[in-house]
């Protein structure tokens, strides 16, 4: 099995800084903005984006997490998924601009599940999607609004995102 590193710590940091600026620009500031990370690594990325946005805009941005496990349509194939914690900021999501944050966008099924999970919690004004790595191969008509890096890959390859919060290091690798 061969593994190649496609993003290192500095690359991830630059990508997140760019995404933070793009979010602020498209939203015209941080007002009514809520970041929701999809566990596991989407939560760490949402925290980092929230810190970046807060330092750029000089205002705190509510951050939470949104577990999508019970809303997935592939639980029969992967029954060992254990639900993670959902944490919605105190102000809720009704009427807010919600940015879903995840590490890798592949088939689009996690994001479809996230949209279903959001509907069960409230009604945001707008939902946007921020992804660190877009690897293609969509099975659903889902497109990210903010992308750290497009990394074309084959279906047989595995894209691994490692973040210091969960794995002790920052890198994105592809395994053949």
Model pLDDT for residues 162-171, shown as the tens digit of each residue: 999 999 999 9
Look at strands 171-175 and 3-8 and give their pairing: antiparallel
**Where is average pLDDT lowest: 3-12, 40-49, 67-76, 163-172?**
67-76
pLDDT of residue 70: 86
Domains and CATH numbers, the chain: 3-70+84-175 (3.40.50.2020)
Report whether 103 contacts 110 (CB < 8 A).
Answer: no
| Backbone angles phi and psi of 39, in degrees to 5 | -60, 145
Q: Which helix (H) or strand (E) holds 45?
A: helix 41-57
CA 51 and chain centroid, separation: 15
Reported confidence tier of residue 62, pLDDT bands at 50, 70, 90: very high
pLDDT at 31 over 70: yes
Instruction: Give, to the nearest 10 degrees, the angle between helix 41-57 and helix 9-27.
Output: 60
Report the pLDDT averaged over residues 129-157.
95
pTM of this structure: 0.94
């Amino acid at each position: 099995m061969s593994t190649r590193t496609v993003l290192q710590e500095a690359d991830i940091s630059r990508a997140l800084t760019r995404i933070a600026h793009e979010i602020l620009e498209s939203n015209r500031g941080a007002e009514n903005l809520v970041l929701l990370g999809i566990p596991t690594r989407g939560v760490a990325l949402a925290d980092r984006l929230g810190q970046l946005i807060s330092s750029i805009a000089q205002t705190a941005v509510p951050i939470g997490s949104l577990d999508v496990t019970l809303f997935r349509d592939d639980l029969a194939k992967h029954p060992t998924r254990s639900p993670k914690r959902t944490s919605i900021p105190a102000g809720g999501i009704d009427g807010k601009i919600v940015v879903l944050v995840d590490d890798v966008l592949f088939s689009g099924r996690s994001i479809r599940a996230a949209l279903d999970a959001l509907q069960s919690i409230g009604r945001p004004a707008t939902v946007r999607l921020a992804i660190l790595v877009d690897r293609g191969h969509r099975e659903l008509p889902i497109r990210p609004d903010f992308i750290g890096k497009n990394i074309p890959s084959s279906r047989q390859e595995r894209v691994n995102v490692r973040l210091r919060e969960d794995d002790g290091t920052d890198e994105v690798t592809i395994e053949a």
